[in-house]
Structure 1
Amino acid sequence: MQLHTTTWGTGDRVALLVHGIMSDHRTWRRVGPALAERGYRVVAVDLRGHGASGRADGPSGYGPRDYADDLVETLPAGAELAIGHSLGGLTLASAVERLAPRRAVYVDPAWHLPAGRNGFRAELFTHAKSLTREHVREFNPHWAEEDLDIELETVRLWDERSAHGLSPFAGKELAPGHPVVPSLLMLADPSMLVTPERAKALQERGFHVRTVAGAGHTIQRDDFDGFMNALDGWI
């Protein structure tokens, strides 16, 4: 599927941005321009089922391979930098060998969806359709007002069947066996998806690991300065 894209900046140095579930390219509204100021042509996608991109025929069309194939079909290979957040981190890892960026950054990636009663449940995501602005503010007290509005809009546009498409992968190990390209793992504090034990194991596999102190899962919205500082040496 050819995905909808948004671009900031111009030039030959390309940076790719891949958002998480229920979001779209607007989660990068500050990151995109900041990278463009550093000389990148920044291309951000809307994943299938999100934003202005197309929808799959049903939940079975929302697996990691489907998302990854879309990235490869849509984005240029050989970019200078690729960044994926949450589901975007899972998608980027599944596509990174084919996209072959020079460097990759995985932001609190969804490489392990816990199974069981307290684990990943699609229903918890689909309930987001009924959240009010105050609910979003309560869950994300550090977000700017604009991000609250964007979240409500992106959730409204989001195809909730995509959450059910991930259910078969709950409890499975989705983390890469090794970094295909030099890779930074940027974590929230604490991370809901990457435990300290998993972070240590990934570091032993060759991933560079940095934690943004006090930041929630959507680090780029929770602490933009902390997010950009964590990219030092990678951009």
Structure 2
Amino acid sequence: MSHNSLGPSAETSAARLHRIASHDGLVLAVDDLGPLDAPVVILLHGGGQTRHSWSGAAKALAQRGYRVVNVDLRGHGESEWSEAGAYSLDDRVADLEAIVAKLDRPFALVGASLGGATSIHAVAQAMRPASLVLVDIVPHPEPEGISRIVTFMRAHTEGFATLDEAVDAVAAYNPERPRPRDPNGLMRNLRQREDGRLYWHWDPRIVAARPQDLHDMVRQSAAKLPQIGVPVLLVRGLKSDVVSDAGVAAFRALVPDLEVADVGGAGHMVAGDRNDAFNDAVTAFLERHLPAG
């Protein structure tokens, strides 16, 4: 592992873990896999997730010939928490800029939920990816769906006494997803502290601000997309409570060339719910706008 590097490695099939310092010194955990000389796909997960939520998609994209850069957003996973509580979209765009600065190939952005909001804001702030994939996020999301996510992330600040308690909390949030046969995989999203209890991996201050403020900023940034002309694909879960038909229509009115891939049987966590269908939609779009070969 090395700081401030996405440099060469003999490995291209396994993920290479890097540590990259952002503008304020906060260190991000970044996986890098696939051919080093290929076009790059940067994966940005949603709030409350980690880079491991992209595991299937990252491997599939690397197998298609892309170099994949998979990031733990600040305050999540193995990336550091901000001592100053700096979790604005501007801070997240600065993180993305620090990563892009290490690359010397054209790149695409694939952002889910919070990662998608970050991607929209980055393009509005002069970042120029070859293409942009937004996963179940639009400038006008459904308030009820956003509220459900934020409520979940604000809950259980006292942690969990056992792994089963954490599994129960996830099941209550997403009752339609089957309970895992092996709950130990959830430990990637938990941290055991000195008191012996298990806590979610994210900094609670991430959800301290009003969601409405973030989405107001996303709407302002999205208004610039038509003039910029970056190709945009929206991948949405047809069972999502965050992206509705009205939200899609409003986005298409703003960006007439918007492409939409509807994934049946998937909710807000599209890649996790229907990974194969998600991968097919994203790779088909990328191969038209950022060919791997």
- The corresponding residue for 1:197 is 246
Query: Helix, strand or coil: the match of 1:106?
Result: strand
Q: In the TM superposition, what is the alpha-carbon distance from 1:151 to its structure 2 partner?
A: 4.4
Q: In the alignment, which of 285, 288, 293 is matched to residue 233 of structure 1?
A: 285
- The corresponding residue for 1:20 is 46
- The alignment's TM-score, normalised by the length of structure 2, stands at 0.69
Q: Deviations over 1:148-181 (max 9, x none)?
A: 6444532522111101135461663623113541
One-letter amino acid of the counterpart of residue 159, structure 1: D
Q: Deviations over 1:183-229 (max 9, x none)?
A: 10111113322221120121122321221112011111100111122
Contact kept in structure 2, 1:113 and 1:193, CA below 8 Å: yes
Q: Deviations over 1:26-79 (max 9, x none)?
A: 0111111100000011001111101121212344x1111111111111233763
User: 1:125 and 1:150, CA in 2 relative to 1: closer, same or farther beyond 3 A?
Assistant: same
Contact kept in structure 2, 1:113 and 1:119, CA below 8 Å: no
- The corresponding residue for 1:83 is 110
Contact kept in structure 2, 1:79 and 1:101, CA below 8 Å: yes
Q: In the alignment, which of 137, 155, 158 is matched to residue 127 of structure 1?
A: 155
One-letter amino acid of the counterpart of residue 85, structure 1: A
- The alignment's TM-score, normalised by the length of structure 1, stands at 0.85
- The corresponding residue for 1:157 is 201
| CA distance in structure 2 between the aligned counterparts of 1:157 and 1:37, rounded to whole angstroms | 29
Aligned residues: 233
Q: In the alignment, which of 70, 90, 112 is matched to residue 65 of structure 1?
A: 90
One-letter amino acid of the counterpart of residue 189, structure 2: T
Q: In the TM superposition, what is the alpha-carbon distance from 1:106 to its structure 2 partner?
A: 0.2
Contact kept in structure 2, 1:113 and 1:120, CA below 8 Å: no
Kindly name which structure, 1 or 2, has the bigger radius of gyration based on alpha carbons: 2
**Over the residues paired in the alignment, what is the CA RMSD in angstroms?**
2.9
- The corresponding residue for 1:136 is 170
Q: In the alignment, which of 215, 224, 227 is matched to residue 266 of structure 2?
A: 215
